Amino acid sequence: MASPFRQRSAEVEDRIRNHSNPDQELSLQLVAPALLQDRGISIDLKDVSKQFGDQVVLKRISLTINPGSFVAIVGRSGCGKSTLLRLLSGLDSVSSGSLKLQGQEIQGIHGNTRFMFQDARLLPWNSVLDNVKLGLSGVRSSDVQLRAYEALKLVGLEERAGEWPSVLSGGQRQRVALARALVGNPHLLLFDEPLGALDALTRIDMQRLIEDLWEQSRFTAVMVTHDVSEAVALADRVILIEEGQIALDLNITLARPRHRDAGFAHFEQVILDRVLAPAKHSAARTNISLYDI
């Protein structure tokens, strides 16, 4: 059965296709192009190094990420995950090597890159809807309202549009942050441990929502997570960083939507086998976060 998010998206698509007024139709096409096309961009790193003073954090990393794929980056605390994400974002620059987005050497923040962090970072003096609008720039004012509202619909919070962020739960705030990230129809969405502060069940709900929305629009997604289970649940490919280098690059060949079954546990185990010393490693453990190690 289709998920509520898919049903909602199907409704929007239906409205786009069946609308008779050409002006409104144009407006609706602006609302949800995510539903109509794949937008992801390619990422190419060649011999990328990053150092801060004498400390070399990333060491000659070479990596190609296909447009529209979902990549998870895992590794122990301090191994360089967030540094890599900041390089991809254009917020920081490489010390040496080449980093290209869609074949172009990266120069500052790419226009259609969006972020989602562990902290939702909502403005408390703005309504929920106004926070989502912050994800749009250069769009006509009449469209901004409509698009922000439709983005809230995609995350199931349209009825909370007029409320303050302070009255929302942690999971709902992260939904607003997701709507703000998606409303501009990003080509690249960078997630830095976005679900790390949520309880286990809300976290699984949010994983499903992110997967669902990514499947609809196929932006390129790169997610840093400490949770091996989360990486296997969401990613096409899991990259383990150790001491500034890629220690494992694993394609997750499970069908979607993913179920936490034996095949799922196998992929978790492969990653953990690489991370853990054999003596510390128990074959029976699943749902392990790297924080547990």
Q: Which residues of the shown chain bind ligand ATP in the complex (CB under 6 A)?
A: 52, 57, 75, 77-83
Pairing mode, strands 55-65 and 43-52? antiparallel
Q: What are the structure tokens assigned to 290, written together?
A: 């790297």
Q: Using omega within 30 degrees of 0 as the cis cutoff, is the peptide bond preceding 22 cis?
A: no
Query: Least CB distance from residue 275 to ligand ATP, whole Å?
Result: 13
Q: What are the structure tokens assigned to 263, written together?
A: 């095949």
Question: What is the secondary structure of 122-158 as a DSSP string?
Answer: --TTS-HHHHHHTT--S--HHHHHHHHHHHHHHTT-G
Give whichever of 158 and 242 is closer to ligand ATP, judged by the CB atom: 242
**Cβ count within 10 A of residue 84:** 28
Query: Least CB distance from residue 226 to ligand ATP, whole Å?
Result: 6
Query: Least CB distance from residue 279 to ligand ATP, whole Å?
Result: 24
Give whichever of 75 and 194 is closer to ligand ATP, judged by the CB atom: 75
Give whichever of 40 and 194 is closer to ligand ATP, judged by the CB atom: 194
Query: Least CB distance from residue 190 to ligand ATP, whole Å?
Result: 12
Give whichever of 75 and 171 is closer to ligand ATP, judged by the CB atom: 75
Query: Least CB distance from residue 293 to ligand ATP, whole Å?
Result: 12
Give whichever of 82 and 126 is closer to ligand ATP, judged by the CB atom: 82
How many CA atoms within 13 Å lie on the side-chain side of 256? 17
**Residue with token string 């998870």:** 72
